[in-house]
Amino acid sequence: MNGELTTLFPALTVITPITGAVVVFLLPARLRARAGLPAAGFTVAAAILLAWGVVTEGAVRHELGGWGAPLGIDLHADGLSSVFVLMTAAIGLLVSFYAKPFFALAGEKGGASELFWPLWLFLWASLNGLFLSSDLFNLYVTIEVMGLAAVALAVLSGRPPALVAGLRYLLAALGGSMAYLMGVALVYGEVSTLDLGLVSEAVEGSPAIRVAFGLMIAGLLVKTAVFPLHFWLPAAHSSAQAPVSAILSALVVKASFYLILRLWVDVFDVAVTVAAGQALGVLGSAAVIWGSYQALRQRRLKLMVAHSTVGQIGYMFLLFPLITIGYREAADAPWLAHAWTGGIYQALAHGFAKASMFLAVGVFVLAVGNDDRRSIGDLVARLPMTTFALALAGISLIGLPPSGGFVAKWMLLKATFSSGQWWWAPVILTGSFLTAGYVFMVLRQAFAPAGKPIELNPVPRTMEVTALLLGATAILIGLRAEEVLILLDVGAPFDEAVEAGEGGEP
Amino acid sequence: MTAPVESYQIYAVTAGILFSMGLAGLFLCGHFFKKIIATKILGTAVFLLFISLAKRDFVEFADPVPHAMVITGIVVAVSAGAFALALARRIWNETGRSTFEDSQ
């Protein structure tokens, strides 16, 4: 279709982690960690192959079983999906390195640590599947697999608070995916096809399509935890174990954001209205303010980082009002590309920064024994590498130059002014100030001398290094923005303008 | 014999009513078990809509694709329901709680 190259790469990116998950699951418990890391490595290799294919050949497609749309299910990779697949690969690999020593230690305290590897590989497969699927129903299946694996990971410790938070997460996720599926049914009834490309050609702005689009977006908003539908997130993300929190906050909420973006821009653009865009912007703004403010108020570090996720997700939703105004009149308006790049950069930068932050806090918890903000005194001297990781991640979350978070927020700010929607600018700035508040509050505690000398538990070196590498990546993607943009450019909806906008890179 | 309303439309409207009932149950009921049942009702509503759309007015015979999707959807819904029930039972065994309210 469309003369796009048909290759095996997209299928490989999904099959590799599924195979890994099954093989690892069949192994005896003590061998799982040893087999899990190579499986993660193969998955990363498949993701790199896919991205390389997209850079050199343009968007690629794979028809599963050779059937092809409309009856068969297609996998399709363009710049947007490859960027998310690569982000998942990079964060996934580093978190896997962290998880091996972490669960070796946690396994001594009970819980079902030996199930981490199969569940995580299944989750990885569903994430890649979601980024690559080109079929509305197949997307539902990947969302559901993702939800089940994510909840199972969140309750891995088996402690009651995690179980209660996990059930709340599961019920919210089920409600969300049912709303999505209801939308799929209505779309199928209207256009009799499920392939994203064919649906986008066939849809008209009829009432049924508008209702279906609304249901799908509403369901996905629950799964992305956008204010006020974030009620399940802080408890679920903060009660999970450190590597799992990192995966949930950095990757899982991004998957449903990706899907909203895909449906909004590529599939249902006829059903999108300016009012709908503004509504998502208002929800995003409320999330930025509320999430960041709540993070400032938390005593427990993990709860603080989880609330910060709510705030940072809000930034990503400022993308929608910005790409909705002037979309039909002037497809090459400069702010479209800025908003598009800024929103996606926010997803990337937050992914790396938040993974680093959860892993760093995990190191603190392991060393000190609890995650109270006041008990981390003097850690800058005792755990300098981890404190530095936390600081780097914080810089990116605040949006200080030259971090990835800065590029994201700068692009969004530029787009708010050039599109004349100045009312989003105070939100972006207030969010940054509140974020600076909680980041510096933690750093101040880490620099403060401890009241009495505390006995620290030893922490494996690998855990500290991976947290630092993730924090450093959150900064580096700000310095090397052009490489990311080259990949993102493939098949981008606003591609001409992206090239024009690149000159204005900060 | 031309009925003013096609029979598939009755099913589709029923699906809409069931969907609202499931959604209300999910938000308004307190007990874990009632919430889980509410997600089952939501699922049933969606599957009913799929099945009823298989016999839309412009197709000659029942469209098989929605049936394939419903089969897949039922498998997913059963496993999700089983997982939710297992979690709820584990919470009950560990803490004696059966609602979210008394958790705080």
Of the ranges A109-113, A240-244, A445-449, the best mean pLDDT one: A240-244
Could you give the count of Cα atoms lying within 13 Å of B33 in the half-sphere of its Cβ?
5
| Inter-CA distances, A350 with A49, A346, A398, B66, Å | 24, 6, 10, 38
Reduce the DSSP state of residue A63 to 3 states and report it.
strand
Confidence grade of residue A108 (pLDDT, cut at 50, 70, 90): low
- Residue the block writes with tokens 């990706």: A258
* Alpha-carbon dihedral angle through residues A267, B42, A158, A312, given to the nearest 10 degrees: 30
Specify the DSSP element, H or E, that contains A184: helix A160-191
Q: Look at residue A3 in the predicted model and tell me its pLDDT.
A: 61
**Residues 304-333, chain A: which have Cβ within 8 Å of B?**
none
Whether chain A has a CB inside 8 Å of the CB on B48: the answer is no
Q: Look at residue A373 in the predicted model and tell me its pLDDT.
A: 82
* Alpha-carbon dihedral angle through residues A380, A383, A388, A393, given to the nearest 10 degrees: -110
- State the nearest Cα–Cα gap between B83 and chain A, in angstroms: 8
Beta carbons of B46 and A181 less than 8 Å apart: yes
Reduce the DSSP state of residue A211 to 3 states and report it.
helix
Q: Find, among A205, A206, A196, A211, the residue nearest to A80 by Cα.
A: A196
- State the nearest Cα–Cα gap between B2 and chain A, in angstroms: 22
CA distance A418 to A342: 14
A188 closest CB neighbour out of B23, B53, B88: B53
Whether residue A441 has pLDDT greater than 70: yes
Whether residue A1 has pLDDT greater than 80: no
Whether residue A506 has pLDDT greater than 60: no
Specify the DSSP element, H or E, that contains A74: strand A74-77
B32 closest CB neighbour out of A167, A188, A189: A167
The reported pTM is 0.93
Beta carbons of A192 and B63 less than 8 Å apart: yes
Query: pLDDT for A53-107, tens place per residue?
Result: 998 888 888 888 887 777 788 899 999 999 999 999 999 999 999 999 998 887 7
**Continuous H helices in A192-273:** 196-202, 207-224, 233-239, 242-247, 253-262
Q: Look at residue A496 in the predicted model and tell me its pLDDT.
A: 44
Whether residue A458 has pLDDT greater than 90: no
Q: Look at residue B59 in the predicted model and tell me its pLDDT.
A: 65
Q: Are B47 and B73 in contact (CB under 8 A)?
A: yes
Angle at A294 between CA A291 and CA A297, to 5 degrees: 155
Whether residue A474 has pLDDT greater than 70: yes
Q: Look at residue A469 in the predicted model and tell me its pLDDT.
A: 96
Q: Look at residue A328 in the predicted model and tell me its pLDDT.
A: 60
Whether residue A505 has pLDDT greater than 50: no
User: Chain B partners of A112 at a C-beta cutoff of 8 Å?
Assistant: none
Q: Look at residue A449 in the predicted model and tell me its pLDDT.
A: 82
What would the two tokens of residue A491 be?
């098949």
**Continuous H helices in A58-135:** 79-106, 116-132
User: Chain B partners of A152 at a C-beta cutoff of 8 Å?
Assistant: 83
**Residues 67-96, chain B: which have Cβ within 8 Å of A?**
69, 72-73, 76, 79-80, 83-84, 87-88, 90-91, 94-95
CA distance A19 to A35: 12
- Of A149 and A336, the structure prediction assigns the larger pLDDT to A149
**Residues 17-46, chain B: which have Cβ within 8 Å of A?**
19, 22-23, 26, 32, 35-36, 39, 42-43, 45-46
Whether residue A29 has pLDDT greater than 60: yes
Beta carbons of A152 and B83 less than 8 Å apart: yes
Whether residue A331 has pLDDT greater than 80: no
B83 closest CB neighbour out of A148, A160, A179: A148
Confidence grade of residue A493 (pLDDT, cut at 50, 70, 90): confident
Q: Look at residue B61 in the predicted model and tell me its pLDDT.
A: 78
User: Chain B partners of A179 at a C-beta cutoff of 8 Å?
Assistant: 23
Confidence grade of residue A500 (pLDDT, cut at 50, 70, 90): very low
User: Chain B partners of A69 at a C-beta cutoff of 8 Å?
Assistant: none
Which domains occur in chain B, in start order?
Answer: 7-103 (1.10.287.3510)
Ranges of beta strands (E only) in A23-73 are: 60-63
What would the two tokens of residue A49 be?
């192959």
The crossing angle, in degrees rounded to 10, of helices A481-488 and A29-57 is 80
In chain A, which residue's Cα lies nearest the Cα of B64?
Answer: A71
User: Chain B partners of A166 at a C-beta cutoff of 8 Å?
Assistant: 87
Whether residue B85 has pLDDT greater than 70: yes
CA distance A432 to A429: 5
Beta carbons of B50 and A185 less than 8 Å apart: yes
Beta carbons of B103 and A140 less than 8 Å apart: no
Query: How many contacts does A have with B, using Cβ atoms within 8 A?
Result: 85
Whether chain B has a CB inside 8 Å of the CB on A119: the answer is no
Whether chain B has a CB inside 8 Å of the CB on A293: the answer is no
Query: pLDDT for A137-176, tens place per residue?
Result: 999 999 999 999 999 999 998 899 999 999 999 999 999 9
- Of A467 and A484, the structure prediction assigns the larger pLDDT to A467
Beta carbons of B53 and A181 less than 8 Å apart: no
B76 closest CB neighbour out of A141, A175, A192: A141
Q: Find, among A90, A82, A2, A84, the residue nearest to A40 by Cα.
A: A90
Beta carbons of B26 and A148 less than 8 Å apart: no
CA distance B77 to B55: 23
- Of A492 and B44, the structure prediction assigns the larger pLDDT to B44
Q: Which residues pair with B36 in a beta bridge?
A: none
Whether residue A497 has pLDDT greater than 50: no
Q: Look at residue A6 in the predicted model and tell me its pLDDT.
A: 82
* Mean of pLDDT over chain A: 89
Beta carbons of B76 and A168 less than 8 Å apart: no
Q: Which residues pair with A372 in a beta bridge?
A: A300
Q: Look at residue A499 in the predicted model and tell me its pLDDT.
A: 43
What would the two tokens of residue A183 be?
């939308």
Q: Are A163 and A151 in contact (CB under 8 A)?
A: no
User: Chain B partners of A160 at a C-beta cutoff of 8 Å?
Assistant: 91, 94-95
CA distance A297 to A332: 43
Confidence grade of residue A502 (pLDDT, cut at 50, 70, 90): very low
| Percent residues over pLDDT 70 in chain A | 94
- CA torsion sign for A283, A242, A473, A24 is negative
User: Chain B partners of A219 at a C-beta cutoff of 8 Å?
Assistant: none
If you average pLDDT over residues A241-265, what whole number do you get?
95
Beta carbons of B79 and A178 less than 8 Å apart: no
